[in-house]
């Protein structure tokens, strides 16, 4: 085993660490959630990451997005992701796409992936991603943030449970603020769920939604 993974042992077995290296994850979005999710996947040591984001960094990203730095202003987020991956763990095969996820490119992006991580910030793209996961037969580890609040769910393929979280009557959401601990917390919970799935363990939030309010220190787990 590579020395870099020694401190993963305990929480993970050697067999699980080796299994991770055979797994591919799709990461949709490289903003507040996506930057942290990328970091977790790199340090855990998954085999490959495919990620897509068509945005470039702006100063308003600096309050919460891990990949946003002063030097990166104006750069594509996908470029920053590739550079971070090379700096943290070059053994992970990383494919970055600097265009947004669409109904046209999703099947190609999801092909061969074991699960998808939701780092998106809008309902339309989430619905496209969920439909793609259904077609690919892979689980979607959903995350969403707003204000002081975060939510995480593991959506089984074909379950249609994203509609329980975002009913069809909901149209697009207006952009809202949040603070740095919220995406960090949310992405950590998402990454832990993904880690369970990738290691073949049960994911505690399979078919459930964890809703957290960091302002009050409260969490609720809801059936979906």
Partner 1 sequence: MLEVRLFATLRQGREKVYHLDAAGFPDGTAVLDHLHIPKEEVAIFLRNGFHRPTDTALADGDIVAIFPPTGGG
Q: Residue 115 phi/psi, 5° resolution?
A: -165, 170
Cα(34)–Cα(147) distance, rounded to whole angstroms? 17
Nearer to partner 1, 2 or 220 (CB): 220
Cα(195)–Cα(160) distance, rounded to whole angstroms? 22
Instruction: Please report how close the Cβ of residue 122 comes to partner 1 at its closest, in angstroms.
Output: 7
Which positions from 182 through 201 interact with partner 1, judged by CB under 8 A?
Answer: 183
Instruction: Please report how close the Cβ of residue 120 comes to partner 1 at its closest, in angstroms.
Output: 5
Query: Does residue 33 belong to the site contacting partner 1 (CB under 8 A)?
Result: yes
Nearer to partner 1, 10 or 223 (CB): 223
Q: Residue 94 phi/psi, 5° resolution?
A: -120, 125
Which positions from 34 through 53 interact with partner 1, judged by CB under 8 A?
Answer: 34
Binding mask 142-181 for partner 1 (x = CB under 8 A): -xxxxxxxxx------------xxxx-xxx-x-xx-x---
Nearer to partner 1, 39 or 118 (CB): 118
Instruction: Please report how close the Cβ of residue 164 comes to partner 1 at its closest, in angstroms.
Output: 6
Nearer to partner 1, 9 or 173 (CB): 173
Interface residues with partner 1 (CB under 8 A)? Answer: 29, 31-34, 118-123, 126, 143-151, 164-167, 169-171, 173, 175-176, 178, 183, 209, 211, 213, 216, 220, 222-224
């Amino acid at each position: 085993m590579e020395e870099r993974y020694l401190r993963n042992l305990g929480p993970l077995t050697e067999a699980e660490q080796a299994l991770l290296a055979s797994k591919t994850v799709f990461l949709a979005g490289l903003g507040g959630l996506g930057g942290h999710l990328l970091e977790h996947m790199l340090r855990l040591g998954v085999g490959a990451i495919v990620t897509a984001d068509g945005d470039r960094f702006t100063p308003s990203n600096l309050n919460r997005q891990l990949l946003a730095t002063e030097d990166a202003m104006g750069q594509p987020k996908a470029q920053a992701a590739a550079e971070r991956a090379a700096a943290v763990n070059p053994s992970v095969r990383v494919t970055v796409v600097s265009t947004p996820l669409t109904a046209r490119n999703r099947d190609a992006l999801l092909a061969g992936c074991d699960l998808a991580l939701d780092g998106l910030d809008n309902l339309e793209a989430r619905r496209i991603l969920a439909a793609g996961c259904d077609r690919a037969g892979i689980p979607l580890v959903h995350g969403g943030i707003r204000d002081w609040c975060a939510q995480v769910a593991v959506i089984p393929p074909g379950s249609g449970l994203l509609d329980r979280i975002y009913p069809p009557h909901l149209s697009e959401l207006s952009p809202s603020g949040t603070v740095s601990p919220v995406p960090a917390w949310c992405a950590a919970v998402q990454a832990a769920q993904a880690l369970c799935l990738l290691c073949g363990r049960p994911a505690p939030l399979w078919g459930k939604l964890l809703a957290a309010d960091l302002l009050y220190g409260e969490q609720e787990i809801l059936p979906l």
